[in-house]
Structure 1
């Protein structure tokens, strides 16, 4: 692959967007390669968590506008639609952590919104700037920003296209933690390693419960959570951990 660089570290797959000369602008090839890497990671039991990053200058400046030069609206709606690729990213079943710095605009912001945890360098700058060129976000931006921030804040950000800082993103709830520029990737990898230590089945179930539960009425979400709980209850990891806990407690009681 050319647009994506892969690196594996103890159950963690690091995927780096690799178009530095274009500020990691997202084109068809990058989306194809990213989805191929995620599909491979989905099927690989050795991969427990994925970290997605760019470089210090830019996570991603958004969609590559050059790709719109010779395309018709009919092609965008059919043969050249990128909706299937974005669905693959949003539906990836394992934890997906974004480690961002520099420019996080447009499609780069939407890619961040598709992740589960976000670690940002203090240098990160976010925006949904599509309105500035007569467009709107088209890969989930309006819907995910509204679900994350609420109607009024999403309206402001989308209708003005203004930039906002990593600190503001943290206050709004888009970013989990803000770090000095030299630490953001290490912090994201450390979070990934912590998650990778836990039962893969439980981690996937927890992600599914949170992500899909948000789309359901509360009663249905609670039933869905219980269904997932019962499913992971029978796994060897859960049963082994329960037995180990009981044995430690019995040993402590006998010793006391």
Structure 2
């Protein structure tokens, strides 16, 4: 890559066989002299990433709608410096969708493979709600089903199921059974359970999130959703991108008010 002051850069794509020579160039009013190594056949010159030129003994020529492939002569083949090989560009309509994305967007093959794998991943969502949280759970599940672009598997851990005639696809898991198997009381804190502002934490439904992996060992990923959360978008792409296409963890934090360190003291 060569650049002179504020002039656009020149990118030289050269072959395997080289010969040192001087080259004078003048493109779009900008000129100069280069001392570079050229292949025996020719050299490709990218002007500001847009148009392409080949150099032949210091001269340039515009290759319209073509892209140049430098010659790579075999040991027994002698190719003159003035011989040029170029391959016409494939029209866009002949390119497949993935080829266009890979060429224009810079997507690598492994990225495409990951996206294909994620697109076939079943969406699993988990709620845990006792009797007091049932109205919020009803509204939250309705909002998910309204916007989901495909079928999602919703698991509900609670004391009573949602209306089966309306939410037939929601799988109900009795909270008592989950507690008996996974002992949810081990996650409670007796020092804060008597505090008025956190008394609701005594509900065992709050601690189901800590045993999600144990409840569903055969599920690759499952997303916890609070019972009072209204989803106003398609949950499917959000589910598949979370913790899959980046290393960022999704969380909520306190934006103001008193710090929470005083709780339990």
Q: TM-score under structure 1 normalisation?
A: 0.20
- Which protein has the bigger strand share? 2
Point out which structure has higher relative CO (alpha carbons under 8 A, 6+ apart). Answer: 1
Q: Which structure has the larger Rg over C-alpha atoms?
A: 2
Structure with a larger share of its residues in helix: 1
